[in-house]
Structure 1
């Protein structure tokens, strides 16, 4: 069977623990490019051994950040791009669905949102809240806008959690993208403590919040307007979306993300009370 006419862009930095699993799921795609950020481990070496092209990226501290830089600077053979982190890979069903999309000469959509099969604390979740990522893009029809977030504490080379903006219609796949982080669970809490700093700043700056909301998926925009997020999210994920069927892992995930939304609210109230600008002042957790 012919290769799928899609170029996969995998962004990495010190990902030797998971890069092989990611690349092993991409053998049906026509082109795999690993965009590596000066890894000090064997990430680049392992990627080359697996047959991927490796391009190095050194961030200059300015816009564009890494994802938009890839859209602007990385040359690809195909018009359809699948943008992945090293801890993500398509299921076989998603691989075939992406083939059908890319090979359809009547295709009018310029981007697809991919629902994510998430692993938390080493366990795959089949139920509960489902994250959606806009990761399948038609080249030249999508861009990450320059939202004023670079000054936030802990902001790095990769765009914060907002979606690329399309210039045409967006679809959603039926099949799933797997997210399987092999790092210990403490790193999840470290990241989300930092993310809650960013979200608190965004929430207390209306103009920035409006720009970020425009760049979210429809699901993200709806949830942004929900009051009492910690309680609502727990009930939604664990009860309505039947996260309880995943056992202890489903409870842990629903509670962890509910606590994350509680952190955002608490830090937002602190910023409003103190009048701080969010730079260097929201890192206490």
Structure 2
């Protein structure tokens, strides 16, 4: 089978627990696999290189472009199509088959500017089949896609990575059916560590409505609707556990719905704490 005319870019920082599996999942299927590493100290670079990935060092200068846009600009720019994978993600066999059908014969023109791909989400060691449906715009024609440059450089919580918003596409966007599997092998405490940082960023946005609005328009439709919802911790739990039937995932579904509700509560609490006079 011919390799897909796609570059897989994997932004990393200390992903030794996951990186081998991620690189192995794509190395035989795409033109290039490039790990863009932010000075990992756990051997991520050597592990990725041993599996055949190209390793590129990255150091953020505190300005735009941030890391993913830097990848679009600099990682194998001669190949138009780039697929972002996190260090703990692998494309499902069904997704690889779907991509081969889309890109097919060499030289075929692919009309969309980007593809949205659902995540097969794992939490605390179990694959969730219900609850939240997370979709990421991660397969991009770099000639027609770009991450927005927002006024959030002073915000805490995100640093070198773009926040919770999508790249903007100058052309049609198509949603694929098959998922990327998002399975983090690190202990669940790392999920809470990350989301504690993310909630700092989200709370900062609540006090900067102009930036918050810029980010709203770069979110998915689901994200835009939830952006305006009141009582977000309760709405989050009801949506994931009841409306989207997270209860069918048993204890894992309950744990994840509670964790996301707690994340929304953190944002609200930090927002209130930051309001002068309260």
Identify the TM-score tier after normalising by the shorter chain. Answer: over 0.9
- The answer for the alignment partner of 2:6 in structure 1 is 6
Measured after TM superposition, the shift of residue 119 of structure 1 is 1.0
Measured after TM superposition, the shift of residue 273 of structure 1 is 4.6
Three-state SS of the structure 1 residue aligned to 2:264 is helix
- Of residues 32-41 and 88-97 in structure 1, the stretch that sits farther from structure 2 once superposed is 32-41
- The answer for the alignment partner of 2:186 in structure 1 is 183
The equivalent position to 2:271 in structure 1, one of 268, 272, 275, is 268
Measured after TM superposition, the shift of residue 102 of structure 1 is 2.6
TM-score by length of 1: 0.92
Aligned residue pairs: how many? 275
- The answer for the alignment partner of 1:19 in structure 2 is 19
1:49-106 per-residue CA deviation (whole Å, 9 max, x = no partner) reads 1111111111112211111111112224532110111111110001111222233735
Unaligned runs of 5+ in 2: none
Q: CA RMSD in A?
A: 1.6
Three-state SS of the structure 1 residue aligned to 2:85 is strand
Distance 2:16 2:118 in 1: 25
The equivalent position to 1:203 in structure 2, one of 206, 214, 238, is 206
Unaligned runs of 5+ in 1: 276-285
1:114-172 per-residue CA deviation (whole Å, 9 max, x = no partner) reads 11111111211111111111101012111111111121224321111111111111111
TM-score by length of 2: 0.94
8 Å contact kept, 1:7–1:76: no
Instruction: Please tell me whether residue 43 in structure 1 is matched to residue 52 in structure 2.
Output: no
Distance 2:109 2:162 in 1: 32
Three-state SS of the structure 1 residue aligned to 2:150 is coil
The equivalent position to 1:108 in structure 2, one of 103, 106, 111, is 111
- The answer for the alignment partner of 1:278 in structure 2 is none
1:170-223 per-residue CA deviation (whole Å, 9 max, x = no partner) reads 111100111111221112112112211111111222101111101111221111
Q: Aligned ranges for residues 56-205 of structure 1 at < 5 Å?
A: 56-103=57-104, 105=108, 107-205=110-208
Distance 1:153 1:107 in 2: 38
Q: 1:273 to 1:34 in 2, by over 3 A?
A: same
